[in-house]
């Protein structure tokens, strides 16, 4: 079956760095996405990785290792507004998005 695993919840301090991991097993791979979802709101796109390596976008970076079925989202200089759920999703061989349950990130002052 297809499976996306990520931690349920993480806590970090304002100004710090946090890394949210995602491991996946899917039928085929056409890229991995990270989305941010604030409570009660729609998911919004953060990043897309299809090749191995690190993609940096401001305070957020996303890393992919296809051989390990592994990705992480790195958030630097954490701000209170970064408190949200972070969803990992993989596009399978049918170009269908398979979603993880999300990691709830709690930022403390």
List residues near other proteins by CB under 8 A.
Answer: 30-31, 33, 40-45, 48, 50, 85, 87, 89, 91, 94-97, 99-102
Q: How far is the CB of 18 from other proteins (least distance, A)?
A: 18
Closest approach, Cβ 102 to other proteins, in A, equals 5
Q: For other proteins, give the closer residue by CB, 49 or 75.
A: 49
For residues 20 and 89, which CB has a smaller minimum distance to other proteins in the complex? 89
Residue 109 CB, shortest distance to other proteins, in Å, is 25
Closest CB to other proteins among residues 43, 69: 43
Question: Contacts from 35-44 at CB under 8 Å and sequence distance 24+?
Answer: 35/86, 35/87, 35/89, 36/84, 36/85, 36/86, 36/87, 37/84, 37/85, 37/86, 37/87, 37/102, 38/83, 38/84, 38/85, 39/84, 39/85, 43/87
In this structure, are residues 23 and 103 in contact, taking their beta carbons and an 8 Å threshold?
no
Query: What tokens appear for 34 in the block?
Result: 């990270």
Q: Which is nearer to other proteins, 51 or 109 (CB)?
A: 51
Q: Closest distance between other proteins and the C-beta of residue 8, in Å?
A: 9
């Amino acid at each position: 079956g297809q499976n996306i695993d990520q931690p349920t919840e993480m806590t970090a301090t304002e100004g710090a760095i946090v890394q949210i991991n995602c491991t996946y097993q899917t039928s085929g791979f056409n890229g991995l996405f990270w989305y941010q979802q604030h409570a009660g709101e729609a998911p919004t796109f953060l990043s897309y990785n299809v090749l191995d390596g690190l993609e940096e976008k401001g305070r957020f970076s996303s890393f992919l290792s296809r051989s390990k079925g592994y990705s992480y989202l790195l958030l630097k200089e954490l701000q209170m507004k970064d408190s949200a759920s972070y969803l990992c999703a993989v596009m399978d061989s049918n170009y269908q998005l398979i979603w993880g349950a999300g990691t709830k990130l709690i930022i403390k002052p």
